[in-house]
Amino acid sequence: MFAKNAANAPCDFILFGALGDLACRKIIPALYQLESAGLLHERTRLIACSRETMAQGEFIDFVRLDLAQFLPIPIDETIWLRLSVKLAYCKLDVTQPADYNKILDFVQPEQVQVISYFAIPSYLYAQACEGLASAGLNLHSSRLVLEKPIGDNLASCQAINQQVGRYFAEDQIYRIDHYLGKETVLNLLVLRFANAIFSSNWDHRAIDRVEIIVAEELGVEGRWDYYDKSGHARDMLQNHLVQILSLVAMEPPLNLDAENIRHEKLKVLKSLRPINATNTNEYTVRGQYAANTINGRSIPGYLEEKGANQHSTTETFVAVKAYIDNWRWSGVPFYLLTGKKLSKKQSEVVIHFRPQAHQIFNTVDGSVAPNQLVIRLQPDEGVELRIMNKIPGLSQKMKLHESKLDLNFNRSFTNDRIADAYERLLLEIMQGSQSLFVSREEIELSWQWIDGIKSAWELENSPLHLYPSGTWGPEKVKLLFDGFAHLWEDKLEIS
């Protein structure tokens, strides 16, 4: 959508952490899909780096099994043949500087674009950058991809960014938040800025409140130790929800260039009302999932998961009432909710428009509900507009009914497969567009806001509310959301 280059050039794509969960579930399947779409140049090479000892043939077999497990479709043998000849395996320990010279057997940095993708923990970024530089793989034409989270607070994020910046310039660095690659998130820009009905009604005068929900049905899934050191505020709120919020709330950019989009998102982040010890209990709720029984099936709580510390107070649920203190959004609450072991997997943005200033239908059967714009991010991607209609009939009393104008992507675009976010982002990296990636200043501002919340929780000894697995969170959410929690309708079960 925002790519600068009309045609793809060949590249040497170096994947660090190639045998890890992220690479196996997302990155390698995304590369297959790009090959399937004819978007990988025939001379592109994919160099997988990991510290495991593995022969080239073993790695090819490993990738084949990985694709069979994680691709949503059967492997096409023609596509697999094209992809497999692009694959190479390099045994490399990120912490060993001498190992980086091994990569030179697989790449041609003076002839083709070199892209280094770090699917490794962020505390290793500095060592990996130093190693790449020692091997001459940080040329000005080189690109570097950093996965989230970058650090675990503002100080560590700044330190990592500074260390990475010693070897790579800011315009070479692509910081990924995969939510920014989702079709429905990209469609936010189109809805807002290509439709006058919305662009002229996108401020505090027309909008009453905004909900941003990123709900997960699963728990920690064997990652308890990692997750307990992070918590949901750092793992989800700091990146995904804050990024969606900035796209919903930003001013119209001059154009779709990365610099202009980032400039407007930064203005939103700078306008976020700080949450600290003076207002944390008024503006936030944190929770932790507890055991529950649903349809006769026992579901363990967070402290019953394998490897759990029985005294952990790490949050698995966060709800925030946020305010953006600028002219456009003056007084409009943004309700953010995210958590694990909730009622279902669901991500959506709901724009609640204000009711009509003067209501002439107050004597009819049925209430007159304000309009809603629902942007479904996953799993049922689409856009829904809720409006009032008259029910046909000859009754003297007019009967009204809330109707839904539903644009379901899967039903409306039956001939087009909805690409995974990583496919879009990998393509943008190869084509040199940073519009869908997060700048250093953005990520540091979001950490600053989250650090204020986390510090306030500790200073104020904010309560950790337990909620049964399979519900939509603690009872306290009703108060935080000013009684509007019922607007999730039959989907909402507050414990």
CB atoms within 10 A of CB 276: 15
Burial of 300 (0-12, 13-18, 19+ CB in 10 A): middle
Predicted local distance difference test score (pLDDT) of residue 225: 85
Domain edge (last residue) among 159, 175, 191: 175
Cβ contact 345:312 at 8 Å:
no
Domain edge (last residue) among 122, 144, 175: 175
212 and 122 within one domain? no
370 and 280 within one domain? yes
- How many DSSP H helices and E strands does the chain contain? 17, 17
In one letter, which amino acid is 162? Answer: Q
Q: What distance in Å separates the CA atoms of residue 415 and residue 460, rounded to the nearest whole number? A: 54
Which pTM was predicted?
Answer: 0.90
Predicted local distance difference test score (pLDDT) of residue 410: 65
Residue 183 binned pLDDT confidence (cut-offs 50, 70, 90):
confident
202 and 148 within one domain? no
Residue 416 included in any domain: yes
> For residue 305, what is the domain's CATH number?
3.30.360.10
Residue 220 binned pLDDT confidence (cut-offs 50, 70, 90):
confident
Q: What distance in Å separates the CA atoms of residue 403 and residue 47, rounded to the nearest whole number? A: 52
Residue 4 included in any domain: no
Lowest mean pLDDT, pick from 15-19, 67-71, 292-296:
292-296
- Cα 178 to Cα 85, 246, 422, 447: the distances in Å are 27, 15, 6, 18
Terminal C-alpha separation, the chain: 42
> Is 300 a residue whose pLDDT tops 70?
yes
Predicted local distance difference test score (pLDDT) of residue 364: 59
263 and 393 within one domain? yes
Residue 454 included in any domain: no
Residue 434 included in any domain: no
Per DSSP, helices labelled H in 71-112 are: 77-84
**Cβ-defined contacts of 53-60 (< 8 Å, 24+):** 53/91, 54/19, 54/89, 54/91, 55/89, 56/88, 56/89, 58/89, 59/87, 59/89, 60/84, 60/87
Residue 433 included in any domain: no
Predicted local distance difference test score (pLDDT) of residue 415: 59
Residue 360 binned pLDDT confidence (cut-offs 50, 70, 90):
confident
Lowest mean pLDDT, pick from 319-323, 365-369, 417-421, 437-441:
365-369
373 and 478 within one domain? yes
Residue 174 binned pLDDT confidence (cut-offs 50, 70, 90):
very high
273 and 130 within one domain? no
Residue 113 included in any domain: yes
Q: Which structure tokens are listed for 256?
A: 């779709």
Predicted local distance difference test score (pLDDT) of residue 386: 86
> For residue 128, what is the domain's CATH number?
3.40.50.720
The torsion angles phi and psi of 364, rounded to 5 degrees, stand at -95, 165
Domain edge (last residue) among 127, 160, 175: 175
> Is 1 a residue whose pLDDT tops 50?
no
Cβ contact 335:351 at 8 Å:
no
369 and 412 within one domain? yes
Predicted local distance difference test score (pLDDT) of residue 487: 46
Burial of 309 (0-12, 13-18, 19+ CB in 10 A): exposed
Predicted local distance difference test score (pLDDT) of residue 492: 45
Half-sphere exposure of 284 (CA within 13 A, CB side): 31
226 and 371 within one domain? yes
Residue 393 vs residue 414, higher pLDDT: 393
Predicted local distance difference test score (pLDDT) of residue 396: 66
255 and 239 within one domain? yes
> Is 485 a residue whose pLDDT tops 60?
no
Percentage of the chain beyond pLDDT 70 is 93
Lowest mean pLDDT, pick from 77-81, 324-328, 481-485:
481-485
Residue 457 included in any domain: no
Closest of 229, 217, 388, 197 to residue 309, by C-alpha: 229
> Is 416 a residue whose pLDDT tops 70?
no
| C-alpha torsion 107→108→109→113, nearest 10 | -80
- Mean pLDDT for 446-452 is 96
Residue 358 binned pLDDT confidence (cut-offs 50, 70, 90):
confident
224 and 331 within one domain? yes
Residue 30 included in any domain: yes
Predicted local distance difference test score (pLDDT) of residue 339: 95
275 and 150 within one domain? no
The residues carrying an active-site annotation are: 240
> Is 361 a residue whose pLDDT tops 80?
no
Mean model confidence pLDDT for the chain: 89
387 and 258 within one domain? yes
Query: Which domain, by its residues, includes 470?
Result: 180-420+462-491
Number of domains forming the structure of the chain: 2
